[in-house]
Amino acid sequence: MQRTILHADINNFYASVECLYRPELREKPVAVTGDVEARHGIILAKNNLAKATGVKTGEAIWQAKQKCPELLCLPPDFRKYLRFSKLARAIYEEYTDQIEPFGIDEAWLDVTGSVHLFGDGREIADTIRQRLRDELGITGSVGVSFNKIFAKLGSDMKKPDATTIITRDNFQQLVWPLPVGELLYVGRSTQQKLRNRAIFTIGDLAKRDIPSLRLLLGVWGETLWHFANGLDVAPVRRSGEESIIISIGNSTTAPRDLINNEDVKLIFYVLAESVAARLRQHGVKCKTVAIYVRNTELFSFERQGALRNPSSLSSEIVSKAMELFVSHYSWDKPIRSIGVRGANLVTADQHVQLELFEEDNTKVEALEKMMDGIRKRFGHYSIQRCVMLQDRHLTGFNPKEDHVIHPVSFFK
């Protein structure tokens, strides 16, 4: 039985919600932007009037202002966006229980079992778009296809407020002429590698032989070949179904450039507190610590190292992170952003072989769990490490909550 998969994408989501609350802005170019003072000054979303002037998501505010001097920049309000995301999901749930979010404003829906109740894929997609307009006051584009990859492509092909159907009979005419960069997870680096092999369109990719793509991109080359040929068979997860957690991490752009090891250690402590708390929340420990570093010239690298024993303690995560950092960075340039991640996860209650002269961390683990409870009850800043007081401007953020919501991986 052929599947009927929808991909619903709410148009200009953040900007559309802001214009709902402020109708006087609807006829003006509007963008929702990051915090310039916190050095997150990029375009998060824009309305159609701003888009028409060339403003792009992800570019710096000053670049957008050059294209559109009259651009109105608004700060994000994620409480409002989450509310509308939940309202949209409530509409989707009336048609299927197989709903897989892809970020805050997109979702896949498997309506294969619902077509005999609500009509074919196009009818369901058109009904959903109509209800988004009538009930929420926002518009959405919906792609309809027989797999997730092509449904996602369909929702991107026509905007705003459109339904696009990609079938087994027409996908070669609709999909293959598109630039290869339109395919999900073909980023700039992969796109350049493909272009170097004269692969410019999705059709060019689909017609290449798998061995040559594996030689170029490894196993990822074969995956993309399957995507291009419509052979994606990934299921749409059911509502409430959680993916397996493979790593837990946080990163941040620092409020100012980091110029020495002490600055880096302070940020590592803030990030590691969040990572460790989330490890404990999920009942896991990490065997590996990974760091991400990007300097002011936008050069970046990642390094990882194994812990002696699995851990969910922020102090041990910071110790390994600093060890990795000191051995791999020579301070040619100041650092702009930094990240910490716990990987290679194991269950927290597994047995660990203790050494005779090694300190038992049981009391420290109990102490950090108690700190989790205090923060849950009285707020994140109710209890802090003394080291955080050295530079409150640098450490005064909560990485567990102060974040932008990005799409989750297709493969999780």
Q: Which of 37, 93, 94, 106 is catalytic?
A: 106
In angstroms, the CA 120 to CA 7 distance is 14
CATH 3.30.1490.100 domain position(s) in the chain: 247-395
**pLDDT value for 398:** 73
**pLDDT value for 242:** 57
Decide which of 1.10.4080.10, 1.10.150.20, 3.10.20.310, 3.10.180.10 is the CATH code for 176-228: 1.10.150.20
As a dihedral over the C-alpha atoms of residue 170, residue 173, residue 179, residue 185, rounded to 10 degrees, the angle is 20
**pLDDT value for 353:** 61
Q: Which helix (H) or strand (E) is 164 found in, with range?
A: strand 163-165
* 106 catalytic residue (yes or no): yes
Q: Which helix (H) or strand (E) is 88 found in, with range?
A: helix 78-92
Per-residue pLDDT of the chain (412 residues; tens, 9 = 90+): 789 999 999 999 999 999 999 999 989 999 998 876 555 678 989 999 999 999 998 888 989 999 999 999 999 888 899 999 999 999 999 999 999 999 889 999 999 999 999 999 999 999 999 999 999 999 999 999 999 999 999 999 998 899 999 999 999 999 999 999 999 989 888 999 999 999 999 999 999 999 999 999 999 999 999 999 999 999 998 866 655 677 899 888 888 889 999 999 999 999 998 899 889 888 899 999 999 999 888 788 999 999 988 999 999 999 999 999 999 999 989 998 899 999 999 887 765 665 655 666 677 888 888 888 887 788 777 787 887 777 777 777 777 665 545 555 665 5
**pLDDT value for 83:** 94
At a CB cut-off of 8 Å and minimum separation 6, what does 17 contact? 80, 81, 84, 138
What's the predicted TM-score (pTM) here?
0.73
Peptide bond into 334 cis (omega under 30): no
Minimal CA–CA distance to 407: which of 165, 100, 151?
A: 100
CATH 1.10.150.20 domain position(s) in the chain: 176-228
The architecture (CATH level 2) of 1-165 comes to 2-Layer Sandwich (3.30)
The architecture (CATH level 2) of 247-395 comes to 2-Layer Sandwich (3.30)
Q: How far is CA 362 from CA 155, 286, 354, in A?
A: 51, 16, 11
CATH 3.30.70.270 domain position(s) in the chain: 1-165
